[in-house]
Each structure stands twice: as C-alpha cells, then as structure tokens.
C-alpha cells in the first residue's frame, strides 16, 4: 500500500488520532449487516466533528500566512462555523462568521440555541446574510477594511471543503486502513454524510492513493441534481494534485446518494428523527438532525432495499453535529 507524504503542508494540532471504531452490535443483529461506527464526533475540541481534521490543515496555512483574522461561511446553525470559531480562538485568531438565513424555519431555538450559543461564548463576530453570494461579497468588503487597518484575513470556504482541507480525510482514510488491519476486519463500504464534499472527497483520494478497494458512499443532506457529486469530484482531483499524483478521477469515483435528504437542507423529516431515536435507544449514540441522521437513514434504507447485502461490513463515519439537536427541540 502506497502512503503519500503530506508533511510539507503545515498543520495545527486539534485532534487525537485515531478516533475510535465501535461495533453497533444490537443494530447489526437487527438488520443483518455488521455496522461499525467511527467516532469523529468525540474529539476533545469544540464539541468535535469532522471539520477538525480539515481545520488542522486550514489553520496551519493561516498561521503560515501570518493571518490575524479567520473568516468562514455557513448556515445559522453551521457546525463548521462553530468548530472554526473555537479552533481559531485556540490559536489566537480573531474570528468572523458569515451565517446564512437559508434554512426555512421560524422557531426561535434555531436562532438562539445550539451552535449559536457556542459562537457567542467564544465572542465570534457574526454577520447575518441571506445567501452565498451575499456572504462572499460581505467577506470581500470586510476583508478590505481589516487589511486597511494592517490586519490579514484568511478565508475558509463553506465546510472547509477545498483541496487543502480535504487532506484531513486523506489522513483519515489511511487511519481507517490501519485500524481495520489491527482489528482483523475488512470493510466492504465506508459511508458518510456529505454537504460540501470535502470529507467524501478526502476518503476517495485516500482510497485512490492507497490502491485499496473499499467502496465509499456519501449521503447528500440536501436535495440536488448531481451538483454535490461533481463538486466532490472537482476538489478530490485538486487534492490529488496537492499530493503530487497524476491520477485523474472520474464521476464514477464519487458516489453520492440523493434519495434520503428530505425536503431541504436543515429540515429533518419524520424518518430522520426516527433514526436519531433508534440509534440512541439501541446503542446510546446520538445523531444530529441536519447531517448524520440523514446519512444513517440512507444507510439503513440501503440495507433494507438490499443495496447493501446481508453479511457485509460497513463503517459509518460519525461526523458530529451534536449541538444542533438543541436547535430543534420541537422534533423531540
């Protein structure tokens, strides 16, 4: 198995590797497929989650560029924005969040609980915007102001999902290979939620560079017509270039399920809430309403529909999002 050297890209220290892998014994017995869960939701920083792996590289680059401020974009209840805010404070950056009012909810908890409380506690500056276009326009205007005052801004994209951030999940893939070997397992499938493509793309790049054969599938958390798969392919190929690989991936390499995302981003359906309760009652593990519940629902439905065969071994990556539960009390 080939291993690429990523040490030329500076990193900050945010996580303790590896994250644990557990066998979901009761659920596996119930569905006839061995499901394991990788707990990227249990890292010790900022209520944790998958974005920390990306932020190690992104904040490493911000330090290299001697930035004074970090900006990023997300929805009002963005897990990525919350983790960026907390991690940025750990390394002395000023943090400004450009948060979109894009989720069609009116309940007060969505706007004043969950991740919003954590952003406020670390004193992140929050700018509310209506969409991505206005967010990036506001970023450019604010960036000019700060740089006129001798500051320097490092901008992190939605979800931390660019080629550099994606390297965090290249690392994760190699971590998984070592863990499965140590556990004397062979996973048939790695499954994950996907909203911006970086986690999925990094896993695909890791698989490609390691020349291993585990299938990788992402479950989209919002309806689309194939845009996420194409975006994932784009950043995966850009990440391969950072890894000095001449391999070029094709559309068949970035498999995305769009069937179980519900009606909109940030809006869970009844069956997503049922999945949260099912996993909690049977395994004592909590999913969130926006990402992980949708992906785990898709995984269970693929098993029910025989897309995933009886007897297969599946690794589900828990990407975090726990604070989001408290923004959706009306569902529980």
CATH number at residue 92: 3.40.50.1100
Evaluate whether residue 13 is within a structural domain: no
Q: Tokens 């975006």 correspond to what residue?
A: 231
Shared-domain flag, residues 155 and 182: no
Q: Residue 293: which pLDDT band, with cuts at 50, 70 and 90?
A: very high
Residue 259 lies in a domain: yes
Does residue 9 lie within any of the structural domains?
A: no
- The confidence score (pLDDT) of residue 114 equals 97
Asked if 284 and 167 sit in the same domain, the reply is yes
Q: Is residue 4 part of a domain?
A: no
Query: How many Cα atoms occupy the beta-carbon half-sphere of 59 within 13 Å?
Result: 23
Could you tell me if residue 214 is inside a domain?
yes
pLDDT grade for 106, boundaries at 50, 70 and 90? confident
At 174 the pLDDT is 96
Q: In the predicted model, what is the mean pLDDT of the chain?
A: 96
Assess whether 313 and 268 both reside in one domain: yes
- Is 78 annotated as catalytic? yes
Largest CA distance in the chain: 61
Sequence-ordered alpha helix ranges (H) in the chain? 25-31, 51-64, 79-90, 108-112, 115-121, 132-148, 163-182, 198-210, 227-242, 270-283, 292-304
Whether residue 188 is found in the same domain as residue 320: yes
Section 97-109 average pLDDT: 90
Which residues contact residue 274 at a Cβ distance below 8 angstroms, ignoring those fewer than 6 apart?
none
Query: How many domains does the structure of the chain reveal?
Result: 2
- Residue 161 in contact with residue 193, Cβ under 8 Å? no
Residues 111 and 151 in one domain: yes
The whole-angstrom separation of Cα 78 and Cα 81 is 5
Let me know if residue 145 belongs to a domain: yes
For the stretch 119-138, pLDDT in tens is: 999 999 999 999 888 999 99
Is 60 found in the same domain as 151?
yes
Is the per-residue pLDDT at 1 higher than 70?
Answer: no
Distance CA 173, CA 210 (A): 9
Task: Answer yes or no: do 61 and 33 share one domain.
Answer: no
Instruction: Indicate whether 276 and 154 sit together in one domain.
Output: no
151-171: pLDDT as tens digits: 999 999 999 999 999 999 999
User: What is the reported pLDDT for 2?
Assistant: 61
- Is 1 inside a domain boundary? no
Using the 3D structure, point to which of 120, 135, 160 is the last residue of a domain: 160
Domain endpoint, select from 135, 160, 185: 160
Residues 6+ apart with CB under 8 A from 293: 268, 272, 273, 275, 276, 287
Q: Are 313 and 188 in contact (CB under 8 A)?
A: yes
Query: pLDDT grade, residue 313 (50/70/90)?
Result: very high
Of the CA atoms within 13 Å of residue 138, those in its CB half-sphere come to 18
Q: Which of 19, 48, 78, 269 is catalytic?
A: 78
Do residue 117 and residue 260 come from a single domain? no
| Whether the Cβ atoms of residue 291 and residue 14 lie closer than 8 Å to each other | no
Domain contains 6: no
Please tell me whether residue 318 adopts helix, strand or coil conformation: strand
CA atoms within 13 A on the CB side of 184: 0
**Whole-model pTM over 0.75:** yes
φ, ψ dihedrals at 24, nearest 5°: -85, 85
Q: How far apart are CA 308 and CA 302, in angstroms?
A: 6
259 and 220 inside one domain:
yes
28 and 169 part of one domain = yes
Query: Of 160, 178, 213, which residue is a domain's last?
Result: 160
Full DSSP string of 205-218: HHHHHHT---EEEE
Name the nearest CA neighbour of 213 among 168, 178, 181, 177. 177
Q: Are residues 80 and 97 in the same domain?
A: yes
- Structural domain harbouring 155: 51-160
Q: Note the pLDDT of residue 102.
A: 86
């Amino acid at each position: 198995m080939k291993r690429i050297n990523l040490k030329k890209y500076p990193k900050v220290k945010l996580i303790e590797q590896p994250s644990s892998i557990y066998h979901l014994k009761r659920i596996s017995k119930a569905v006839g497929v061995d499901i394991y869960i990788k707990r990227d939701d249990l890292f010790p920083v900022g209520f944790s989650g998958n974005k920390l792996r990306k932020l190690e590289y992104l904040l490493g680059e911000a330090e290299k560029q001697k930035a004074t401020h970090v900006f990023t974009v997300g929805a009002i209840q963005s897990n990525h924005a919350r983790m960026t805010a907390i991690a940025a404070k750990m390394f002395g950056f000023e943090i400004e969040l450009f948060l979109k009012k894009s989720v069609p909810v009116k309940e007060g908890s969505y706007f004043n609980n969950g991740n919003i409380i954590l952003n406020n506690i670390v004193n992140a500056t929050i700018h509310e915007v209506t969409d991505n276009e206005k967010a990036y326009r506001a970023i450019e205007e604010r960036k000019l102001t700060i740089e006129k005052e001798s500051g320097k801004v490092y901008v992190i994209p939605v979800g931390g999902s660019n080629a550099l951030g994606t390297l965090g999940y290249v690392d994760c893939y190699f971590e998984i290979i070592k863990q499965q070997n140590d556990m004397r397992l062979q996973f048939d499938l790695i499954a994950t939620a996907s909203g911006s493509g970086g986690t999925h793309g990094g896993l695909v790049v890791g698989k490609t560079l390691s020349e291993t054969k585990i299938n990788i599938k992402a479950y989209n958390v919002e309806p689309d017509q194939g845009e996420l798969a194409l975006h994932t392919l784009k950043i995966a190929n850009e990440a391969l270039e950072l890894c000095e690989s001449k391999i070029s991936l094709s559309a068949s390499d970035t498999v995305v399920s769009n069937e179980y995302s519900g009606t909109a981003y940030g809006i869970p359906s009844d069956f997503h809430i049922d999945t949260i309760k099912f996993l909690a009652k049977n395994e004592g593990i909590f999913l969130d309403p926006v990402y992980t519940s949708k992906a785990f629902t898709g995984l269970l439905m693929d098993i029910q529909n025989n897309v995933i065969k009886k007897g297969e071994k599946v690794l589900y990556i828990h990407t975090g999002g726990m604070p989001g539960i408290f923004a959706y009390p009306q569902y529980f």
